[in-house]
Chain A
């Protein structure tokens, strides 16, 4: 069964420090991987996606993520966190056999402290 795991409910980081939000997945075949961010009372905003090609994907607002097939991971990273990055982050996956559905992780709340 397809699934996405975000092992941390919450990540705390100081402004200016690097941040990592973890995501691992389980799908049949090659996955399509996405990161979305949700600010309070807002919808999901697309950050970046991995479809094929370079394992390091760069997205909006300085975020990037690295697809690691052997570890089935797609961790979200940013070299220098901003207070305004504080939000809820969702990893999502689709597989080639059931592409109409997104499978979302449970979300990780990122707190960036000044």
Chain B
């Protein structure tokens, strides 16, 4: 069964550094999402992406964040200057149908630790 994959599984970085989290969505999917889960808290929506542009973003997704689909397979989340509070598990998701009745398939996540 096709899966969403994410790399790296764990990223440790110093505060103020840039990080890029990578995702490979399921190959025929067209809608892409990033979520984050701070330890012990809810999963929170960050951004949705379709047709090479952001469809919607949450208030969390400020100017420090950006997303890109640099080629036909990867979907990346960049955090320009990391803060301590960016430490979280970041999940990528993809779906093949128009929201809202689609099913989003999630990757295993990247644990980001900002020191």
Contact = CB atoms under 8 A, between A and B. Distances in A.
A32 B105 CA distance: 16
B107 interface: yes
B99 interface: yes
Interface residues of B, number: 24
- Interface size range of chain A in the complex: 20 to 34
Contacts of B48: 100-101
A44 B55 contact: no
Contacts of A94: 99-100
Contacts of B99: 94, 99-100
A49 B30 CA distance: 20
B59 to A, nearest CB: 11
Given A42-B108, A43-B108, A44-B106, A100 B56 contact: yes
Contacts of B44: 104
B114 interface: no
B68 to A, nearest CB: 18
Interface of A: 32, 34, 36, 41-46, 49, 51, 90, 92, 94-96, 98-107
